[in-house]
């Protein structure tokens, strides 16, 4: 099978990037922040749950609990560090209504759709069951993958640039009143960056499928280029059994 190395590289990197970006989109660790809370506020809601786990904490130790807040594109979570007490809910409030969050959601969904469509076209163009791949179809799929990767990079850039300001106009977020959090990028954001870069790399490799391979010429007719897969030159595609003409 005459499949170029660039097409093989693209058909490997593009799905890997799609999986990483999809993992980042559905996980709620795009940003996170930590704070120590006293007896009042959100910890009062969690106090009974902490005692219910048999931790046997005193009032003084409850004051030292570290509360971790994480936000994603479609889900937010609240967890007490060093415990199994965790609560998640769909994004709501100012964070959900923030136009930059909505823009990121739309760009990521569009990126996933374009990349998935491009991978399907690339697989059709790959044509493992034949000797000659459909280069035009594979390259078109690569173009869609590149476009999807660029859209996801744009979404990640917008979110990262405004990470500390998203949904901060109203002190009420999620289910309770939270103090100021020192927000920082979290693991899902890094997965998204890596997946987007792999999408661009894999799509760019597939774009090289537009370039036709250099085929050897027929020894008898060097001015006529032919492809080894064609039968226009018998000296290139000669049968396994040689036929000799014997004259008496």
pLDDT of residue 58: 45
Q: Which of 136-140, 172-176, 228-232, 238-242 has the highest mean pLDDT?
A: 136-140
What distance in Å separates the CA atoms of residue 201 and residue 137, rounded to the nearest whole number? 18
pLDDT in tens, 41-54: 444 444 444 444 44
Which pTM was predicted? 0.71
User: What residues form DSSP beta bridges with 80?
Assistant: 67
Q: Where are the domains of the chain?
A: 5-210, 217-248
pLDDT of residue 43: 44
pLDDT of residue 3: 62
pLDDT in tens, 52-102: 444 444 444 445 578 888 899 999 888 887 777 888 889 888 888 899 999
Mean pLDDT of the chain: 75
At the top level of CATH, the class of 5-210 is mainly alpha
Half-sphere exposure of 136 (CA within 13 A, CB side): 0
Residue 144 contacts residue 118 (beta carbons within 8 Å): yes
Distance in Å from the first CA to the final CA of the chain: 43
Confidence band for 30, pLDDT divided at 50, 70 and 90: very high
pLDDT in tens, 127-178: 755 667 777 888 899 999 999 999 999 999 999 998 888 877 654 444 444 4
């Amino acid at each position: 099978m005459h499949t170029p190395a660039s097409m093989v590289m693209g058909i490997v990197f593009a799905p890997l990037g799609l999986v990483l970006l999809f993992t980042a989109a559905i996980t709620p660790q795009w940003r996170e922040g930590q704070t120590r809370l006293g007896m009042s506020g959100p910890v009062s809601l969690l106090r009974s749950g902490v005692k219910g786990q048999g931790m046997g904490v005193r009032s003084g130790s409850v004051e030292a609990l570290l509360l971790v807040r994480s936000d994603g594109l479609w889900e937010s979570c609240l967890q007490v560090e060093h415990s199994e007490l965790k609560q998640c809910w769909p994004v709501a409030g100012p964070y959900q209504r923030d136009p930059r969050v909505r823009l990121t959601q739309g760009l990521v969904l569009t990126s996933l759709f374009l990349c998935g469509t491009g991978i399907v076209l690339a697989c059709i163009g790959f044509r493992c069951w034949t000797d000659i791949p459909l280069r035009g179809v594979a390259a078109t799929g690569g173009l869609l993958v590149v476009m999807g990767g660029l859209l996801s990079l744009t979404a990640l850039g917008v979110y990262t640039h405004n990470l500390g300001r998203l949904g901060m106009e109203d002190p009420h977020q999620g289910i309770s009143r939270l103090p100021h959090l020192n927000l920082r990028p979290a693991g899902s954001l890094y997965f998204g960056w890596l997946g987007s870069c792999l999408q661009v790399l894999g799509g760019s490799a597939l774009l090289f499928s537009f370039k036709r391979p250099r085929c050897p010429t027929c020894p008898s007719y060097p001015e006529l280029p032919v492809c080894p897969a064609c039968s226009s030159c018998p000296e290139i595609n000669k049968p396994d059994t040689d036929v000799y003409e014997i004259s008496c």
